[in-house]
Amino acid sequence: MKFFIRSFLLFQFLYSFSLAKGQSSLIDSLFHTDSIRHIVEVLASDSLKGRLTGTTESLKSADFIADEFQKAGLSSVAGNIGFFQEVRTGWFNVIGAIKGKSKAGQLIIFSAHYDHVGSINTNPYPWAGSQSGAEKGDTIYNGANDDASGVSAVISLAKYFKALNNNERTLLFVAFTGEELGLLGSKYFVADCEPDSIIAVINIEMIGRGSFSNSQPFVTGYEKSDLIDILNRNYRSLPGKKPEKNFFNIDKNINEFLFTRSDNFSFAVKGVPAHSIMVTSANDKYYHNLNDETKTLDFNLMKKVIRAIAIGTTGIITGKDTPTRIKNAF
């Protein structure tokens, strides 16, 4: 009920937002299914063996992401080793930045985890997910949706915001390690930063596979801050959109506790408006399954979602919108 009342109140502000034509065409020219797919294909390839934290393949994955950050023109953050933040020996978060023009001390984080659970022999949670339907002889948890899809989104958004070049706040693009082992990369990040300086965390998880009932994104913990309202209001400002139509939905998977199960939660417990944007729930048939492979993803869907995140965060990037802090993450 609360959500609908708030949506209604926001209705009156709809026409005060309009998206510049330049931004609209930049979106169309920068978000391509080919480039989105390429990043997923590399990270989810068999040669990276399921990106288990602490392995050589995990380091190769981090290197690839750092190269993409470099190509996108991101800067490194002081105190890190280039784009790498050492979480513990051989474990690295990958972090790139675009400095804010007038509010550089205020940070917006776009994140996703790049680690996954490795292979049949290394999966720390062999009981999780369905193990049926895999091809004979397949032993690798490729993690295309979980969460190469999110990393692909983060890299795509980095390229877009760098080209757009209108961020008043500082943007950080972060690929976390150790998520599957207990949100370890993000916990380290949070312990090493000043949470009050973080205005919002947009964590992107499993956006590559829709289902019969749901092929639009939802926001985990949506009721804990007003981020979802900001995303929808900015999204609806795109020319041609029906103003009453929300794109970002509430999370209906209440029994799955998705808000607490990804890296956003490490920030939320410190009061930061930090949510995950997801399309696929953990009830998905290929969740932690050997078939979570590139070929099972819908790249048109991913493009739509990434594009919506780019538009939905406009006011946060320019400093116009500030989501409310989270008072109780639990």
Query: Token pair for residue 78?
Result: 């002081």
Nearer to Zn ion, 53 or 170 (CB): 53
Least CB distance from residue 69 to Zn ion, whole Å? 20
Least CB distance from residue 215 to Zn ion, whole Å? 18
Residue partners of 177: CB distance under 8 A and separation at least 6: 53, 58, 62, 87, 91, 92, 93, 113, 114, 115, 184, 185
Q: For the chain, how many residues are written?
A: 330
Nearer to Zn ion, 57 or 146 (CB): 146
Least CB distance from residue 25 to Zn ion, whole Å? 33
Nearer to Zn ion, 171 or 183 (CB): 183
Nearer to Zn ion, 217 or 315 (CB): 217
Short-list 216, 207, 324, 184, CA closest to 268: 324
Nearer to Zn ion, 27 or 140 (CB): 140
Least CB distance from residue 261 to Zn ion, whole Å? 8
CA distances from 27 to 21, 156, 187, 205, 283 (A): 10, 10, 33, 21, 32
Residue partners of 89: CB distance under 8 A and separation at least 6: none
Least CB distance from residue 262 to Zn ion, whole Å? 6
Short-list 276, 281, 144, 153, CA closest to 211: 281
The pairing of strands 218-219 and 274-278 is: antiparallel
Contact 78, 141 (CB under 8 A): no
Least CB distance from residue 276 to Zn ion, whole Å? 9
Short-list 202, 206, 213, 199, CA closest to 321: 199
Nearer to Zn ion, 147 or 284 (CB): 147
CA distance 112 to 153: 8
Residue partners of 254: CB distance under 8 A and separation at least 6: none
Nearer to Zn ion, 147 or 298 (CB): 147
Least CB distance from residue 32 to Zn ion, whole Å? 24
- Footprint of Zn ion (CB under 5 A): 146-147, 205
Sign of CA pseudo-dihedral 222, 193, 311, 84: negative
CA distances from 119 to 47, 143, 149, 226 (A): 11, 10, 19, 39
Nearer to Zn ion, 97 or 279 (CB): 279
Least CB distance from residue 146 to Zn ion, whole Å? 4
